[in-house]
Amino acid sequence: MTKQQRSRPSATPAVNPAAAAVDLFSDFGREQMAMAMDATSVMFRGFEAMRRIQQDAAGQASARHEAAARELREMPAGANLMAIPLAVLQADLASMSSYWQALAAAASETQSEMMTCTCQLSGAQSILESAAAWEALGVVPGSTNFFPLVAGEPL
């Protein structure tokens, strides 16, 4: 071998801390947008569940009142006319109670799922990295040493 081959040290590109901070910040923005879309999807599913509850309650009330109207038409002349409306009122009150309970349960479930979306984001390491990126860029005056995490270092 006449030519002597030199081994070159593998050159890893130097990481610019500001560029790394911007990358972390843009990644956080992407995650934040995805979380917002997840929460919006959960919200609309909650609206659908509430609409089904309302539709079911309205259908049951309609059937109750239709049956009461039919009974009143078929009632003999000397019968107690107030018995049927009072029975319908009693059924409406019981139905109203279960309606509000079902609606509150659906709203609570929706809220819980939305909080899950938010907690998934707040538990991400990228939040801490992004906060460190803000600090590294000096975007927030006086924010030094609030976030001791260095971009790219594990927790």
Amino acid letter at 126?
S
pLDDT the model gives residue 69: 93
Query: Which DSSP category does 28 fall into?
Result: H
**Closest Cα partner for 37 from 118, 123, 127, 125?**
118
pLDDT the model gives residue 80: 81
pLDDT the model gives residue 112: 87
Residues 6 or more apart in contact with residue 38 via CB below 8 angstroms: 117
| pTM score of the predicted model | 0.59
Q: Tell the residue number behind the tokens 């239709």, with chain if given.
A: 66
pLDDT the model gives residue 136: 55
How many other CB atoms are there within 10 angstroms of residue 29's CB atom?
Answer: 12
Per-residue pLDDT of the chain (155 residues; tens, 9 = 90+): 555 555 555 555 555 555 555 666 667 677 778 888 998 999 999 999 999 999 999 999 999 999 999 998 888 877 788 889 999 999 999 999 999 999 999 999 998 888 887 777 655 555 555 555 555 555 555 555 554 555 555 55
